[in-house]
Structure 1
């Protein structure tokens, strides 16, 4: 009898190992029973061991997790809950920061408008934007020769102005302390250009004549090049006054339909406008080098 008890104690010590192995076996038996039940739509065979039948019966309600499964799922659910909570917190924080930044920007704009006390002239037609960044909306334009209130703020290549009490942004570099010559006004010195020249040449003559009435000689038709097509005009002027005329035409090239102009051995063109006036090679004479006139070619 002593030997028999000793043998049972030995089996008892090995029981944990048997439990580890029995788990997968029971699962396999359960899975087999469920699979057979689905395929044959018949009750599980009575030949199956009773030990396997119990797990199969427990697994018969797939929507109801076992106690161990519930314990396993609980940490995952808790982690998901904490993750969602953290995401919500980050989203709320981001929203609060965005609102704060917006409020600060609006407050800064109000201060800039309130403190604006400088007025500058627009030198060309400028688009009006709601803000300086990429998300800005174009809301209109302002004509050249307008005196506008400026805040002194510049960002992303745009200057802030005040228009009807609102902040608006325009392309930087086109506001001046000096009133630009306007295109309006009548030519009163009796000069004219012949019929047959392009409408743009008519516009160039009218604008220059109105703003520089002392200039009385304009050369249009000639047998060569663009002059023969009625697309060019030579405005006979020299010295610093010539540069004033050249700059006036350049600043208003869009309204006048100008393609390029030459003065004092320098050329400016729409295609390379970013380079400003560029030097030219010596052509040998005062006239050929355009020291005594401003040459204007239009479209």
Structure 2
């Protein structure tokens, strides 16, 4: 048996395989089927166009403003700490914001691989003004004005303290060695500030210089970043019951 195909002239619609009609000896039915397929196809295409427009409106929301990221941030599919991570946006990146905020997260629009992505980020790490690039702040190993902070610290922790105190002279209070947690090892430092923007800059500075300063972890505002899992970005921590325990009033960092 030979299959017969019929295509409309002008290329306005799809070709129709009429083998099943030819087998029944009814080519007129095949031609009629071809003709009737054209308006149906047009209706379907029109419906698809409307669907595409609706989807575009959903995934292309109006940007109400632009803000700067102060640290590397995970892009989350929904405003929850357990949401799927769609990617990462680097520190000192200007992103579009929609104005939607919920549960400590802000909705942003970023460009990834040439495509606009709608996602959620931790709102505390967005700033109106472009922050100083933490990687460009110099590292100093000179003694700080308050040498008492160095008591009981390891050599690496002393270098950490000196680097921070010279990069951020506005910070005047530190927590060094004491008999609890990581601090009892002499490897940890608390950098006391409740200023979110300043704390973000300090945290970003520590991330940028993690290799030079031999940093193990950074904890700030109930989030933790570790050099061993740097690719995971900032990870949420459980509520420990107080502002200090949740690191809302200081940036904590420790060295190897």
TM class by shorter chain equals: 0.3 to 0.5
Larger radius of gyration: 1
Which structure has more helix as a fraction of its residues?
Answer: 1
Question: What TM-score comes out, normalization by structure 2 length?
Answer: 0.45
Which structure has more strand as a fraction of its residues?
Answer: 2
